[in-house]
Chains A and B, each alone.
Chain A
Amino acid sequence: MSSDLAIETHELRKRFGAKDAVSGLTLAVPRGSICGFLGSNGAGKTTTLKMLMGMTKVSGGEGRALGLQIADARQSTEIRRRTGFVSEDKRFPWSITVGELLRFTRAFYPGWRPALAERYLNAFRLPPRASAGRLSKGLRSRLALLLALARGAELLLLDEPTEGLDPSMIEEALQALVSLVAEQGTTVFFSSHQLANVEQIADHVCIIDQGRAVVSDSLDELKARYRRVRLVFEGDPPPGGFEGARRDGRTLSLLASRNVDEIVARAKAMKARSVDVQPVTLKDIFLECSKGASS
């Protein structure tokens, strides 16, 4: 296990009854990176985050966060001391006000940053005297983010952190994450279905499907590896020429990884009228990986 990694798992497993929620997840998240954790609903993202936080017990394999064993109760407490967490469940007790919740949280974190908390309290327009449990969905997300950001944490584990936020607040939250990484070297590991948000700030991406990582790499590397290739033929495209290609009339479209030159050469041999190689978006890669893993 490497000290350069903020999160490292090897064949991590979680079984609920007869069902594997996470089935042999191996991933490595470098320190100081912003890593997007992507996957379809039920892919195992939330379960993984909860295992990293010690909320859900590990069924098998090994996992470390900040160099500490996630399955060890004492070390798990230390992980939580050094980690900010935004849960999928962003409900708070109705009996506590926003101000009280900030004071509670502050007491547990020696690195708490009061100036940052004050700044985001204003920026996120959170009412300090309001009951935390009675906030709207968007305000609850803002409060959860504030509580995670102001902890002075080395690692942020965020489960759908921008859920329920309007576009301007999403932008504010994303910029806050980027600032935190730039200023403090914090590692951010966050799940989201908003691929554009992930593409905007992440430098690493992990795509999980059915409890297994199907892709785990830097975003630049992924984008360099994948290309969208469009082939236009004079007549109907030759059948079975390119596996996984999508046909639209005389056009074939496919996502290529590392074998672009080979595909182009084959297309030319098949007398394609035009061959167009384009860069891809994270959405293209995600859809391809999800489709590939599922099939």
Chain B
Amino acid sequence: MSAADKVLWYKAWTETRSFFRLGLTFLMASALALYVGYPDDYSKHFPNGAIAVSAEQVRALLHDGKAYIWLSWFGTSLLLGLSFLALALASTGLVRSPEGGASPGVTYALSMPVSRRKLAGVRVATGFLELATAAILPSVLVCLLAPTQGQSFPIRDGMAHVLLAMSGVSSLYGLFVFISTVLGELSKAVLGGAVLFLYGMFTFLTNGVRRFSVFRLMTGDTYFLRGEIPWLGVLACVAFTAGLVYASVRLVERRDF
């Protein structure tokens, strides 16, 4: 990696680090809070079910700590925290259009002897790495702290859930990046609307065709309940993400600034 490439990565980091630090801090705090307020009786929790899990299923599952940890952390806190972090990271924009109010420093970045593909690619990749870090570190903490409450959540299982959470949140990140690239500065309003829309869809899907919901994939219920990784869903998310990121980069390449 050349010095210029390293600098490009570092620049992407400086432009996204505030949101990343905020998101990671929130998730680490949530991971710790899981054990600070650890309940003696699980039955009072999730009375209305959880994300992608019905109330009946919850009642059937909540007889041990592992299920509680899964529902609380992988099925709720990590899922929501990562989704909002993906939204925040995407809102910083790849390279915003001047018509939409070019973000400060865009012309400086474009005056560098670097192709737009590389410029945008590094920025997207930085976002993915930050999301992965924000998923892995607190999840490892959750697994490591489980014995403090007499529970066990193996790191191997934790990483399987991280894989599923990452594949799901990657597609959300790709979608947010695409919307942000297409709509420029308007993206903030539109992204907010997109979140509400997605949240509405998500709550709908929990009662409807939830087996196709990306949120369900992120909870990793098939892995927790049956020990199966839904590879088809993972691959679909990867393909969806790749398509959206490619389209976003192509848009940036073709745009006038």
Contact = CB atoms under 8 A, between A and B. Distances in A.
B110 interface: yes
Interface string B1-16: 0011011001100110
Contacts of B113: 77-78, 80-81, 108-109
Nearest to A159: B107
B57 interface: no
Interface in B237-257: 253-254, 256-257
B102 interface: yes
B4 A92 contact: no
Nearest to B11: A104
A96 interface: yes
Interface stretch (A26-34, A53-61, A210-218, A263-271): A53-61
A87 B107 contact: yes
Interface string B87-128: 000000000001000111111101111110000000000000
Interface string A247-273: 000000000000000000000000000
Contact of B7 (A53, A56, A107, A147): A107
Contacts of B15: 93, 95-96
Contacts of B257: 50, 55-56
Contacts of A89: 98, 102, 106-107
- In this complex, the member of B3, B15, B18, B256 whose beta carbon has the largest number of chain A beta carbons within 10 angstroms is B256
Contacts of A53: 110-111
Given A95-B17, A96-B14, A108 B107 contact: no
A133 B104 contact: yes
B111 A104 contact: no
Interface string A83-107: 0010111011111100011011101
A99 to B, nearest CB: 12
A73 interface: yes
A56 B105 contact: no
Nearest to A92: B105
Contacts of A100: 14
Interface string B139-153: 000000000000000
Contacts of A50: 256-257
Contacts of A88: 107
Contact of A108 (B7, B17, B105, B256): B7
B110 A55 contact: yes
A144 B98 CA distance: 19
A91 B11 contact: no
A78 B114 CA distance: 9
A159 B114 CA distance: 21
Nearest to B255: A57
Interface in B129-144: none
Nearest to B108: A92
B111 A93 contact: no
Contacts of B3: 107
B12 to A, nearest CB: 11
Given A53-B110, A104-B11, A73 B115 contact: yes
Given A93-B105, A100-B14, A107-B3, A57 B115 contact: no
Contact of A80 (B14, B17, B104, B111): B111
A276 to B, nearest CB: 48
Q: Which 3 A-B pairs have the closest CB atoms?
A: A81-B113, A93-B105, A91-B104
Interface of A: 16, 50, 53-57, 73, 77-78, 80-81, 85, 87-89, 91-96, 100-101, 103-105, 107-109, 132-133, 144, 147
19 contacts: A53-B111, A54-B110, A55-B257, A73-B253, A80-B113, A85-B111, A87-B107, A89-B107, A92-B105, A93-B15, A93-B103, A94-B104, A95-B18, A96-B105, A100-B14, A101-B108, A107-B4, A107-B6, A147-B108
